[in-house]
Amino acid sequence: MTSSLRMLNLCLGFAISCAAQSVHPVGNIFKPQATPAESVYHLSLLVMAVCAAIFLVVAGLLTFTIVRFRRRREDDGHEPAQVYGSNRIEVAWTVIPVLIVLVLTMATARVVIAIQNKRAPTGALQVTVIGHQWWWEIRYEGLRIVTANELHVPVSTASKPALTFLKLESADVAHSFWVPQLSGKTDLIPNRTNTMWIDPRQEGTFLGNCAEYCGMQHANMLLRVVVQSPEDFEKWTAAQRLDATSDSHVEAARAMFLSLSCVNCHTVSGTSASGTFGPDLSHLMSRANLGSGVIPNTSENLRAWVKDPQEIKPGNLMPNMQLNARELDEVVAYLSSLK
Ligand code: CUA
């Protein structure tokens, strides 16, 4: 193939893969649904009000000056009187900005400290989130649950507050956890543990994404926080704690899966698959998306993903396993059974 043809092919492939990706609306920061996001929202209103006032004063003075002191026909070309130095004005334009910066700094520090110093009350849900290129590992230490990309938490109400405390770590490079409607951004940094917390007040799915450039598929490192009623959350945790299904219908498919090198990177609880390099697959079908949100978890998409993940999310660390048709059928059948 000539290089121009190859280029055309690449562009076409890119266009097709772009078209195949669904839109991921980012949550509106002006509709906060948890305490940390609300504190940040209120602070941003103050900052914007101060900036708007400064803009109006500066733009107003500028407009006034341009109009009032514009060149007039009756002017005889004389320069206006030149004024040098005015202690009063210089003091004013030094002191006023210093005061404004001081107020904004204090207000920001207050919000940062209030969020950061929050202690986990007894009974708060503790979750560790580990950033990987390019997906999120989610571990509920106390509950013996490991999942990926979709963080389930209980809804917090006035009568029954439910706080989720997150420990944020990274397996490789710096990432940033950001679910705009729930909290500000917090980085996940290698060899360091950061913390944050959320108390979502509304059930539903909140979208977020990695907010720190972390390589080729940074934009496809998407995140979902599924906020559930206490009963639904209880049901979800009970289901996740079970070992992966050992359905006898997929006996042969399971044997095929376990014979392949998939097991070096993925864990399926209750089997010999115990790799930790990629997402835990024990309850894969309980997740709405594949590839950290790049495509919905449908049977066609699952098949396409297993066949060649590089086609769907180029550069991701899962290689094309070059499975033959029979292997592909069996692996997909087995994965589809992992409810
Ligand atoms: Cu992870 Cu950007």
Q: Are 210 and 276 in the same domain?
A: no
Q: How close is the Cα of 45 to the center of ligand 1, in Å?
A: 28
**305 in a structural domain:** yes
Task: Please provide the DSSP assignment of 124-162 as one string.
Answer: -EEEEEEEETTEEEEEEGGGTEEEESEEEEE---SSS--
- Last residue of one domain, picked from the residues 215, 241, 267: 241
Q: What are the tens digits of pLDDT across the range 306-316?
A: 999 999 999 99
Tell me if 273 CB under 6 Å of ligand 1: no
Instruction: For residues 236 and 289, state if they share a domain.
Output: no
Query: Are residue 126 and residue 48 in the same domain, yes or no?
Result: yes
129 has a pLDDT exceeding 50: yes
Alpha helices for the chain (secondary structure H): 3-20, 35-68, 87-116, 230-241, 251-259, 299-307, 309-312, 325-336
Is the CB of 132 within 6 Å of ligand 1? Answer: no
First-residue to last-residue Cα distance in the chain: 44
> ω into residue 134 within 30 of 0, thus cis?
yes
Domain boundary at 241, 276, 299, which? Answer: 241
How many domains does the structure of the chain reveal?
A: 2
Angle 299-307/325-336 helices, nearest 10 degrees? 130
Ligand 1 within 6 A of 212 CB? Answer: yes
Looking at 190, 218, 241, the residue that finishes a domain is 241
Nearest Cα residue to 209 out of 311, 111, 99, 134: 134
Question: What's the domain range around 206?
Answer: 21-60+90-241
257 and 208 in a common domain: no
Residue 142: predicted pLDDT: 87
Do 162 and 229 have their domain in common? yes
pLDDT (0 to 100) of residue 155: 94
If you measure from the C-alpha of residue 213 to the centroid of ligand 1, how many angstroms do you get, rounded to a whole number? 5
| pLDDT tens, position by position, 48-66 | 999 999 999 999 999 999 9
Taking the centre of ligand 1 as the mean of its atom positions, its distance from the CA of residue 289, in whole angstroms, is 17
Distance from residue 16's CA to the centre of ligand 1 (Å): 23
Q: Are residues 211 and 255 in the same domain?
A: no
Helices (H), 242-298: 251-259
CATH code, domain carrying 25: 2.60.40.420
Pocket lining: 330 vs ligand 1, CB cutoff 6 Å:
no
Q: Is residue 75 in some structural domain? A: no
Q: Determine which residue's CA is closest to atom 1 belonging to ligand 1.
A: 175
**Mean of the per-residue pLDDT values for the chain?**
89
Looking at residue 245, its pLDDT comes to 85
